[in-house]
Amino acid sequence: MNRIASAYLTFSAIALSMWSVPAAAQIRIGVDIAVTGPAAAIGAPTKNAILLWPKEIAGQKVEYIILDDASDPTNAVRNARKLVSEEKVDLIVGPNTTPAALAMLEVAAAAETPMVALAASASIVEPQDAKRAWVFKLPQNDSHMATILTQHMADNGIKTVAFIGFADAYGDSWWREFSHLAELRKIKVVAGERYNRNDTSVTGQILKIMSAQPDAVLIAASATPAVLPQKTLVERGYKGRIYQTHGIATADFLKVGGKDVEGTFFPTGPAVVAKQLPASNPVRKTALDFTRRYEAVYGADTMTQFAADAWGAYMLVANAVPQALKSGQPGTRQFRAALRNALENTHDLTIPQGVVNMNPKDHVGLDQRSRVMGRIVNNKFTYAYGG
């Protein structure tokens, strides 16, 4: 009996010792994207890229919690609150629409949880204040894209241009940046129209634009809703040059647009046309590496602006995690704060869309190496200019 009791006590001590050793902390990353709704064409390749993210960073296991906001800012806020309060995530990636990203700013700041947005408008991270201190952004600022776009217009003799864009923060940002740069390049904006992402007709707006007889039209929209104004222009017989923004670079845009979008010029991240970039382009190797990885799983010519942005988000986080781990364990306030600081101090990190150099006043960190001009040729996105 004494031997049995002794053995029992020994087993109990070992078991207690095992139970008292804390399990290695797991990094939890929450993702909010638009898998359904008007922005689904953006969300689909974003999710595809996220599914390729490694399940371990710096020796730490990582869990990804992916939620769909259905392209609705209200849903995005609800998802953000769920991620920080119930899922206890260390970081949020997304959303990938500007209205949703702006709506989520306060949630990220209140929870002191870093957020890496996949939407484009500079207003997501500018001006830097208490809310935006916790927010970073992958896509290039609209100002970067508008710079090369207006340069292309000026170089090709465009003197007058009309604008039609989303009636939301995306359209607002593009109108602000484009109209300013067009004026500097002596390009006269002769019409400015807006429409909603879920509109089914823009005939009235297009008739006003055509009456102004512009040399070119800029459509400031994204995903498949960007097709509508262009189809209407073509149907009405417009013969001038048509420009779109970097928000169109999805396979669904090409599928829905068909012959009506042939010849379109657009600014884009270099990853979208990685195979055609000049050998001298500084991000060509990184962009090609990801293109091969992505297309090995999803098929040839499936690379998009949004898939590349999502992979860039992973690279940004993977670069920051080792530094953050020196200050705290995942799941703690200290780790989240250290992760924010590490993101803010990212230097010379080459991602598929450019080279990142962040600082306390710049939570994007991209420069002219982050964009080129593309053109749709034979229903494919092709390299046209720059870089």
List of domains in the chain: 27-140+291-370 (3.40.50.2300), 142-268 (3.40.50.2300)
pLDDT 10s digits, 40-97? 999 999 999 999 999 999 999 999 999 999 999 999 999 999 999 999 999 999 999 9
The side-by-side arrangement of strands in the sheet containing 135-137 is: 56-57, 60-68, 27-33, 91-93, 115-117, 135-137
Task: State in Å, rounded, how far the first CA of the chain is from the last one.
Answer: 82
pLDDT of residue 180: 96
* pLDDT classification of 256: cutoffs 50, 70, 90: very high
β partners of residue 64? 29
C-alpha to C-alpha distance for 320 and 327, rounded to whole angstroms: 12
The side-by-side arrangement of strands in the sheet containing 216-220 is: 188-195, 160-166, 216-220, 241-244, 265-268, 372-377, 380-385
- What does the block give as tokens for 206? 């297009």
User: ∠ at Cα 356 (34, 337), nearest 5°?
Assistant: 75
Q: In sequence order, what E strands does 169-277 have? A: 188-195, 216-220, 241-244, 265-268
The stretch 100-107 carries a mean pLDDT of 97
Query: 293 in the Ramachandran plot: left (φ > 0), alpha (ψ -120 to 50) or beta?
Result: alpha
pLDDT of residue 306: 94
C-alpha to C-alpha distance for 48 and 96, rounded to whole angstroms: 14
The stretch 338-364 carries a mean pLDDT of 98
User: Helix 169-184 to helix 142-155 angle, to the nearest 10 degrees?
Assistant: 40
pLDDT 10s digits, 212-254? 999 999 999 999 999 999 999 999 999 999 999 999 999 999 9
pLDDT 10s digits, 150-159? 999 999 999 9
CA distances to 76, 121, 266, 273, 281 from 386, in Å = 36, 22, 12, 12, 9
